Amino acid sequence: MNAKPFMKSVSKKPLKSVYTFIKVKEIAEGLYKILCDLKISDETEWYKDFMVTEEYYSSGVGQRFIDVTKMEDEYFAVSDDQFDVDIFIGAKKVILIIRTKKDIQQKISKVVHTHFRMAGDTL
């Protein structure tokens, strides 16, 4: 991922974070990295199945991450003992919702801002 994709908005509560992203091709790579950095349980292969193309997943070659710009009205969810995550892909934006059992807002925010920037931020 060359330049970080943009976030449109952020909404935070002690046990819930909602991030809205401008829908661009690079979103899948950023979301994949967020889920990996948060250490979402490897017991669920969800994020690999969703974020990584079938070709790359099976052979390790070709385009690695899916192109979300070709998707619309899609919903994906994953959870483990720490996190409950929902991803909505709409016509023009992607929404990431992260719910937790304890307040770890700063950790989540740091991870998300590692891979995305707010619209209007400079490089």
Say if strands 93-100 and 117-118 run parallel, antiparallel, or are unpaired.
unpaired
pLDDT for residue 45: 57
Cα 111 from Cα 98, distance rounded (Å): 12
- Give the pLDDT confidence of 90-118 residue by residue, as tens digits: 999 999 999 998 888 889 999 999 999 88
**Whose CA is closest to 115, among 11, 14, 21, 16?**
21
User: Max Cα separation, the chain?
Assistant: 41
Cα 81 from Cα 110, distance rounded (Å): 20
The DSSP secondary-structure symbol of 4 reads P
- Give the pLDDT confidence of 53-97 residue by residue, as tens digits: 777 777 877 777 888 899 999 998 888 888 899 999 999 999 999
At residue 122, does pLDDT exceed 70? no
Edge-to-edge strands, sheet with 83-89: 74-79, 83-89, 93-100, 16-22, 6-13, 117-118
pLDDT for residue 26: 84
